Amino acid sequence: MMKRTPLYERHVKLGAKIVPFAGWQMPLSYSGVTDEHQSVRTAAGLFDISHMGRFELSGKGAEAYLERLTPGPVHKMQRGSAQYSMLLNKTGGILDDIYLYKRGVDKFFVIVNAANLDKDFKWMTSHLPPGVDLKDVSGETALLALQGPKSWEVLVQIIPFGKTEIALRNFIETELVPARGAKGIIARTGYTGEKGYELVIPAEAAETVWNALLEAGKAERIKPVGLGARDTLRLEMGYPLYGHDMDEKTTPIEADLERFIDFEKDFIGKEALVRQREKGSQRKLIGFELLTGGVPREGHTIYSDQKIIGKVASGNFSPSLRKGIGMGYVDPRYSEIGSEVLIDIRGNATPAIIVKRPFYKKKK
């Protein structure tokens, strides 16, 4: 049985194209992927991402537990800050990429990927020390993302008067005016590369808050946005997608996520990563742009000098750049920026150039 978010009926009424995704019936698009994509880049877009998992973690020793469980510098987090991180297995493979929110001393909120919810909960529970409590609150909450350069102008209309703009990778816990005082977590985080916010709210308030945001954003030409544009937006930024650009057989070093690792501390998977750093990895995630027409897709072969050097992990047509872009894993010897490679797109050897990510850079 496919799951539905608290906003499923709303999406149907808005004319969304519904598709299966990670066991959920989710909106792919409403007005069209390109139209929704441009709305987020130029104004504001509203996403229902309630399919993602949400855990509450609390109890004496919760911070020390996360410090050991994740490779990032949890000790650097202040109350009200958010941190991108990962769960790693003993061989350094990525079980999931996650977001941590520090709500207080030994009190955290964790967001995980939809397809990994059960696996993550089991993994985290299996390492729980006595006195630390992990609770799955996915069913009693909803998760919305309000993204785009005009997102603050929209958000400010549904939170109590006098709130100052939230700093990047920080969050507030506040009442939501339309939901008659229901409290939510509002974080300055996102997956689009634009200014934006993610809102954790009670499930029963989801439709009220969703409708209020769409109403508040009318002057800013806000649009509801589906998973199609969420994918093109994240790809333009070079953000990896779990299950495509990384999995349990991929390490953060191979996935170009080493900057999120604190090698000064102990964590699960550290020994394997230290060895890989010393020896060098067998493959590396690169970004590429097509030099001619075509759309690269996951699984397409990457060649150099008639030799197979890797495979495409994520690919699509970029609405902002008007060309095919992608990411893939290649032999590190062929990963230099500026190098030309060939992508096999349906039997056509399509020329591409390796570029620095993000692909899309906002004009100053």
Residue list, annotated binding site for substrate = 198
| Axis crossing angle, helix 33-42 with helix 227-236, rounded to the nearest 10 | 60
The 8-class DSSP code of residue 151 comes to H
Torsion of CA 146, 148, 149, 151, to 10 degrees: -10
Q: Are 283 and 245 in contact (CB under 8 A)?
A: no
- The distance between the two most distant Cα atoms of the chain, rounded to a whole number of Å, is 64
How many Cβ atoms sit within 10 Å of the Cβ of residue 41?
22
The 8-class DSSP code of residue 258 comes to G
What is the helix (H) or strand (E) element at residue 17, kind and residue range? Answer: strand 17-21
Sign of CA dihedral 347, 349, 353, 354: positive
Measured in degrees and rounded to the nearest 5, phi and psi for residue 157 equal -80, -15
Residue-wise DSSP of 188-208:
S--SSSSSEEEEEEEGGGHHH
**The token pair that represents 115 in the structure block:** 């397809």
Who contacts 162 (Cβ-Cβ below 8 Å, separation ≥6)? none
End-to-end CA distance of the chain: 47
What distance lies between CA 341 and its chain's CA centroid?
Answer: 28
Q: Count Cα atoms within 13 angstroms, Cβ side, for 200.
A: 24
Q: Are 254 and 285 in contact (CB under 8 A)?
A: yes
Q: Are 179 and 204 in contact (CB under 8 A)?
A: no
* Spatial distance between the Cα atoms of 299 and 319, rounded to a whole number of angstroms: 21
* Spatial distance between the Cα atoms of 311 and 327, rounded to a whole number of angstroms: 9
**The token pair that represents 75 in the structure block:** 């000790």
Binding positions = 198
